[in-house]
């Protein structure tokens, strides 16, 4: 199994299939887009499958497919089909723009968990954040996913002055439907113009919820062993809501995650500037396992060693779309 020097077991792999996306969300994609590179820089379908099998052999029990937008990958059906044969829990993160084309396949492959990104319930605001006009199809596909009994998590990046006033609307959605709403603090990536003044903290959001509900109706749920979100539920609600507070209240102490970028590099933390080039190792016939273990061993105890409380912090980081969700 994959241990770091802080005693954490790493058994959860996120594989980005592409840097491309059919949205241009402000927190994820620089306004000018990202630099295009030739296909040779990126993992082929066969290489993705090889990497997945290698990591499973090293103890990985859960794989999440991400992007960019993974459903724009032209070989997505084959990749999902092959990965579904592995002894892992397989799930996918998507913006739901193309999801209607894949419901049948996902059901056939027993891929029952969907993380869907949606940052506003107002069409005009959705369009401004995503820089595209796909609100109706996204909402329709979320509704269909719920109706088809997928386990749906809704990822909401909350940015001050943009959509923080919608927190209560999303919590109300969790009352009506069996969804898990995840409010995500705005995080710094290349090209997204992050600064502290735009961060809405977990505590600020929770205070907002408490101001709208009688406090004894807000139930804090038990945390699991590898906490990502700190989850709550309104009494009698069908769903839940929670906070992913990477900036103000990190969950690094129980981190079990590994990220493999679309160009075949390990990022052992979302914020890590250090990367391990596995794709070159694979193509040259090198020892994949030793490079993987070295990368995980060198993982920092928290946030890649970055102190976000230091207002002068500068990040040498990719755009989010080039890392994977």
Could you report the per-residue pLDDT of 190-240, keeping only the tens digit for each? 788 888 899 999 999 999 999 999 989 999 998 877 778 899 999 999 999
pLDDT value of position 264: 98
At residue 272 the predicted structure's pLDDT band, cuts being 50, 70 and 90, is confident
Look up residue 69 and give its two tokens. Answer: 């937008």
Helices within the chain (DSSP H only): 45-57, 76-83, 103-108, 123-130, 135-147, 167-176, 202-212, 278-283, 288-297
The answer to whether position 297 is within a domain reads yes
pLDDT value of position 310: 64
Look up residue 35 and give its two tokens. Answer: 């630099």
pLDDT value of position 203: 96
Distance CA 29, CA 31 (A): 6
% of the chain with per-residue pLDDT over 90: 78
Give the model confidence (pLDDT) of 72-127 as tens digits: 999 999 999 999 999 999 999 999 999 999 999 999 999 999 999 999 999 999 99
The DSSP call for residue 222 is: P
At residue 41 the predicted structure's pLDDT band, cuts being 50, 70 and 90, is very high
User: Is there a contact between 92 and 64 (Cβ–Cβ < 8 Å)?
Assistant: yes
State the maximum Cα–Cα separation within the chain, in Å, rounded to a whole number. Answer: 61
Distance CA 90, CA 61 (A): 9
pLDDT value of position 307: 75
The answer to whether position 5 is within a domain reads no
For the segment 134-139, the average pLDDT, to the nearest whole number, is: 98
Give the model confidence (pLDDT) of 256-268 as tens digits: 999 999 999 999 8
Domain containing 203 equals: 12-322
End-to-end distance of the chain based on CA atoms, in angstroms?
Answer: 23
The answer to whether position 281 is within a domain reads yes
Q: What does pLDDT average to over the chain?
A: 93
Q: Which helix (H) or strand (E) holds 15?
A: strand 12-16
pLDDT value of position 52: 98
Give the model confidence (pLDDT) of 61-72 as tens digits: 999 999 999 999
| Residue 306: CATH number of its domain | 3.20.20.70
The answer to whether position 6 is within a domain reads no
Burial of 222 (0-12, 13-18, 19+ CB in 10 A): exposed
Best CA proximity match to 219, nearest among 249, 241, 204: 241
At residue 315 the predicted structure's pLDDT band, cuts being 50, 70 and 90, is low
Distance CA 289, CA 279 (A): 12
The answer to whether position 7 is within a domain reads no
Distance CA 127, CA 44 (A): 32
Residues 6 or more apart whose CB falls under 8 angstroms from that of 11 comprise 1, 2, 59, 60, 61, 62, 256
- Whether 313 shows a pLDDT value over 60: the answer reads no
% of the chain with per-residue pLDDT over 70: 97
The DSSP call for residue 3 is: B
Q: Per the structure, how many domains does the chain have?
A: 1
At residue 17 the predicted structure's pLDDT band, cuts being 50, 70 and 90, is very high
pLDDT value of position 308: 72
Whole-prediction pTM: 0.94
The answer to whether position 2 is within a domain reads no
The answer to whether position 305 is within a domain reads yes
The answer to whether position 4 is within a domain reads no
Give the model confidence (pLDDT) of 149-167 as tens digits: 999 999 999 999 999 999 9
């Amino acid at each position: 199994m994959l241990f770091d020097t802080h005693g954490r077991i790493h058994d959860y792999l996120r594989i980005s299939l592409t840097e491309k996306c059919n949205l241009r969300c402000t927190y994820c994609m620089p306004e000018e887009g990202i630099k295009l590179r030739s296909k040779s820089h990126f993992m082929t379908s066969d290489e993705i499958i090889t990497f997945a099998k290698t990591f499973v052999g090293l103890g990985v029990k859960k794989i999440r497919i991400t992007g960019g937008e993974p459903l724009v990958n032209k070989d997505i059906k084959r990749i999902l089909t092959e990965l579904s044969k592995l002894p892992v829990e397989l799930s996918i993160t998507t913006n739901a723009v193309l999801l209607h084309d894949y419901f049948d396949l996902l059901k056939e492959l027993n891929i029952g968990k969907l993380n869907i990104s949606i940052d506003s319930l107002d069409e005009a605001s959705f369009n401004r954040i995503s820089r595209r006009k796909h609100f109706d199809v996204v909402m329709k596909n979320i509704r269909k996913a719920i109706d088809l009994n997928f386990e749906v998590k809704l990822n909401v990046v909350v940015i001050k002055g943009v959509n923080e006033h919608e927190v209560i609307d999303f919590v109300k959605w969790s009352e009506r439907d069996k969804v898990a709403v995840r409010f995500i603090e705005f995080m710094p990536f290349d090209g997204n113009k992050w600064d502290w003044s735009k961060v809405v903290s977990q505590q600020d959001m929770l205070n907002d919820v408490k101001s709208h509900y009688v406090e004894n109706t807000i139930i804090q749920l038990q945390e699991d062993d590898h906490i990502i979100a700190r989850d709550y539920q309104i009494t009698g609600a069908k769903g839940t809501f929670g906070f992913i507070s990477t900036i103000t209240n990190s969950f690094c102490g129980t981190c079990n995650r590994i990220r493999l970028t679309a160009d075949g590099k390990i990022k052992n933390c979302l914020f890590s500037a250090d990367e391990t080039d596995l794709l070159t190792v694979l193509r040259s016939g090198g020892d994949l396992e030793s490079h993987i273990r070295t990368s995980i061993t060198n993982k920092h105890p928290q946030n890649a060693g970055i102190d976000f409380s230091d207002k002068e912090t500068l990040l040498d980081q990719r755009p989010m779309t080039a890392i994977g969700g």
